[in-house]
Amino acid sequence: MASPSTPVIAVVGAGFSGVTTALQLLRDGAAVRVILLERNTPVGLGAAYASHNPSHRLNVRAGNMSAWPDQPDDFVAWMRDLGVDVGPGDFATRGDYGRYLQGLLAGIVEGPEGAGRLVVAPDAVVGLEPGGDGWRLTTAMGRPILADAVVLALGNPPPCRPAGVDEALAASRAYVADPWRWDPARLPNGPVLLLGTGLTMVDVALSLEDAMPGRKIIALSRRGLTPREHQGEPPARPPSPPAPDIPPLAALAWLRRTAAVHGWRTAVDALRPATQDLWRGWSVARKQAFLRHARPFWDVHRHRLSPEVASRVADLRRTGRLTVAAGKIVRLAEAEDGRVDGAWRPRGEVGSQPFSVTAVINATGPTGDVTRSDDPLVLDLIRRGLARPDPLRLGLDVDAGNRLRDVSGSATPTLFAVGPITRGAWWEINAVPDIRGQAALVAQAVLGATRRP
């Protein structure tokens, strides 16, 4: 049982980022007490792994999905113990991965060393302020929580409302704002418009097809780019990455040269080990240039589909059940019969084309501007000056040790962040291999900052 002198660590968010941080904090019997707070249920899954649809698969091979950086076979071994035939090169379902994370969490909570050291609180944190020698957290239920250090593991933010969706449409039953928390079976029969053509679109399209096979689906984005497919095993000896100080245009030229010899997938994978160093070495202007010109192409080659999912998407497109278009919404409005009438302008053209659908689903993916967040905690931190947006507004500004910077730019010793909220600092911080390493580093820094004399 934790004593009054035992440091208390509050981890806000119990998706992958929060769970792995909590596990690392409690590993090897560290003398701390961890409070893991999560506003959504079930705890331990986050948006990514709450799906029970077997069509939703990981887009990283199982052999690289262990929650532990130093135990690379842990997830595959867990699947094997369950009798599930998933090898290191296969792609497990996201539901299975969620159960794996919950199993790790349960192992700590229910184990003899976990008693009193981990508290899972199903509550939202809406405010945070300095209190005493640590922090005072305010929850949606109104109860204050005192902690010596806080780790923000907020996960991916929900998508912002796209241009063209006005207040009236946003409030109607014909519009789905959150693509991760909805029931496809409740939509009326008829064609559906998906705004976005990335990974979120793929999940939504498969959910729609599973709920009502044959439904007409239209996916629209500015460029109409869709995620590429994982093909075969990675090469045993990938090309060496470029020097970490090359500018974006030189990095793009390197990618093109390498892709001409090895293919785009191998070229992007070869660049991955240098991505964070490249990003941190670029000026704000260079990063802005990358986001403006290269990000869509990077995303579709970097965040790829498992062969099983890619095959289903290809079948949907081949049979005309899924149409992917490049263009811009000109008009959207709910009609008197509950349908949505609108018009879109194809990319490169002047004229617009009308359409009518039964529903519009926001599948644009996580918002890319933290200043448009509707998270009360994020807004409270910025309002109080305890945190500030990073220069690109991709998330909250952190230093090299993942400590939040306040409005003056100073890093706060006992206030940390982990996962996608730090992407302005690291860019590549969405995938399990990136976050698990960051979580381990953050846990060690937290333990060092809260160690009793």
DSSP 288-356: HHIIIIIHHHHHHHHSPBPHHHHHHHHHHHHTTSEEEEEEEEEEEEE-TTS-EEEEEEETT-SS-EEEE
* DSSP-H helix ranges across 145-189: 167-170
pTM for the whole thing?
Answer: 0.91
Does domain 167-228+305-361 fall under CATH 3.40.50.720? My reply is no
- Domain span(s) for CATH 3.50.50.60 in the chain: 8-157+368-450, 167-228+305-361
CB count, 10 Å around CB of 230? 21
pLDDT digits (tens, 9 = 90+) for 201-259: 999 999 999 988 999 999 999 999 999 888 766 677 778 888 877 888 888 888 888 88
CATH class of the structural domain 8-157+368-450: alpha beta
| Residue entry with tokens 């990335």 | 198
Residue 293 confidence (pLDDT): 83
The rounded distance, in Å, linking the Cα atoms of 82 and 96 is 10
Q: Residue type at 23?
A: L
What pLDDT is stored for residue 263 in this prediction? 80
Name the nearest CA neighbour of 410 among 426, 396, 398. 398
In tens, the pLDDT along 419-429 reads 999 999 999 99
Q: How far apart are CA 103 and CA 89, in angstroms?
A: 22
Q: How far apart are CA 276 and CA 291, in angstroms?
A: 15
Q: Which residues of the chain have pLDDT under 70?
A: 1-4, 28, 41, 44-47, 50, 112-115, 232-234, 453
List all residues 6 or more positions away from 370 whose beta carbon is below 8 Å from its beta carbon: 157, 378, 389, 390, 393, 394, 395, 396, 421
What local confidence, expressed as pLDDT, does residue 437 receive? 94
Expressed in angstroms, the distance from the first to the final Cα of the chain is 20
With a CB cutoff of 8 Å and minimum separation 6, the contacts of 222 are 296, 326, 327, 328, 347
Rounded distance, CA 185 to CA 279, Å? 42
